[in-house]
Chains A and B, each alone.
Chain A
Amino acid sequence: MSVIVRTISRVVAPVALAFGAYVIMHGHLTPGGGFQGGAVVASVVALLVVAFESGRWKKWKDVLLPLEDLGAMAFTILAFLGLGATFFRNILAGGGGLFGAPVPQLGPNPGALNTAGTLPLMNWAVGLKVIAGLGSVVILLSLFGREDG
């Protein structure tokens, strides 16, 4: 694309990446979560594929597809963690330790990042899965039909 599009996307892409990471990390506190933040980051991938030539993203496909399997595996393993009680039991919540703190105060509160048990970990797993899946779909659609694709 033209130099204007490339310059603007160089400015916008880091900001959108940071926003996607924020949405994924604060999924148990603010609106958002793994799916939404993953969609934001995948839109950054689409922006870069459109703005710069798509041939240079060919290698990324081989990186992103195993990452999606990794996200799915992590999500399933986190679900299997609670198998002592039931599937999807939230064993880390309220037990102290990693993400085990209770909410600061019942009702409206400012929120603490170290709460909600397995929910942040599941958000990260699903976010990784959505980033890798949608990013590889966008790259594959842009590469189809090229000679070197």
Chain B
Amino acid sequence: MGNMPFVVSMILVMVGFLTLITRRNLIKLAIGISIIEMGVNLFLVSLGYVKGGIAPIYTYAPPGAKEMVFPTPQALTLTAIVIGLATTALMLAFAVVIYRHRGTLDAEKIRELRG
């Protein structure tokens, strides 16, 4: 069980996929996609961890520590978080507009009502 964080992040990804398969509400689909994003972000951050490392910030760093956690995965995870936020905002806006036009949030009914 040396790499438990990888396993936990993959379990989060699978929970998100299970949500996408079993739910039909558009808001819940957006929540599932957000859970997948969280799992992937956690996986990216945990890839850059160095054993015994401290945060890569020199302000008031503990003087005894010599290793620092890798900063590049953290910076790219910041990018991924902001992009996930943008997609979540767009998904919620689409859900609001669809509910306004069709009167339902059920994906199957929206598909039946097409045309």
Contact = CB atoms under 8 A, between A and B. Distances in A.
Taking the complex as a whole, does A directly touch B, i.e. does some CB pair lie under 8 Å apart? yes
Interface of A: 29-31, 33, 35, 39, 103, 107-111, 130, 134, 137, 140-141, 144-145
A89 B92 CA distance: 37
Contacts of B62: 108
B96 A31 contact: no
Given A31-B55, A108-B58, 10 more contacts: A29-B59, A31-B57, A33-B78, A35-B78, A35-B82, A108-B59, A109-B59, A134-B89, A137-B89, A141-B93
Interface residues of B, number: 18
B59 A145 contact: no
12 contacts: A35-B78, A35-B82, A103-B58, A107-B61, A108-B60, A108-B62, A108-B63, A109-B58, A134-B89, A137-B89, A137-B93, A145-B96
Interface of B: 55, 57-63, 78, 81-82, 85, 89, 92-93, 96-97, 100
B58 A145 contact: no
Nearest to A33: B78
